[in-house]
Amino acid sequence: MKYYLTIAIAVMLSAFTLPGNPSIHSFKVKSIEGGTIDFSKFKGKKILVVNTASKCGYTPQYEALEKVYEQYKDKLVIVGFPANNFGGQEPGSDGEIQEFCKARFGVTFPLASKISVKGDDTAPIYQWLTHKNQNGVLDAEIKWNFNKFLLDENGKMIAYFESKVKPDSEEILKYLN
């Protein structure tokens, strides 16, 4: 009896220690506005997660991100994650970043509070996005700003796109049409 109880406990504990949760819906992150972005509220929509920066050569992608968001908002949510990991290209405070995005590009999609997307202080959501043993699908290395992760309606990883892939490119839009 003791043997079977030990096995039962081990099996139950393994459920908590197995690698990864294959859904992004378990994450909640701080919003740039001070509230919370709860990814469980995006169930039923695809999610495009992008690490952003205000002083990057790819910063004009904010415009295309906003257009894609407006065009597909019934079935897609875009969440931007400002990060200062590359060349100090996002030095501003949350308030400064938010003002820049709204004034310059008319951004209305959700923006998270500034985080780290690489290194020892990588935010948990980016650890999940970049490690196959957590997301269940792929490993990705964030090499620069404006990397994109596309997730399906169930919060499972579909694809990863490097900076050079524009938000309105066929590579991404084929998943939305």
98 vs 54: CA distance, rounded Å:
10
Pairing state between β 46-52 and 36-38: unpaired
- The model scores a pTM over 0.95: no
Q: Which amino acid makes up residue 124?
A: P
**Set 32, 48, 53, 56: catalytic member:** 56
How does pLDDT run along the chain (177 residues), one tens digit per residue?
554 444 444 434 333 334 456 799 999 999 999 999 999 999 999 999 999 999 999 999 999 999 999 999 999 999 999 999 999 999 999 999 999 999 999 999 999 999 999 999 999 999 999 999 999 999 999 999 999 999 999 999 999 999 999 999 999 999 998
Q: Could you tell me which of 63, 67, 81, 101 has the C-alpha nearest to residue 24?
A: 81
pLDDT for the residue 22:
75
Is 56 an annotated catalytic residue? yes
Pairing state between β 157-161 and 46-52: unpaired
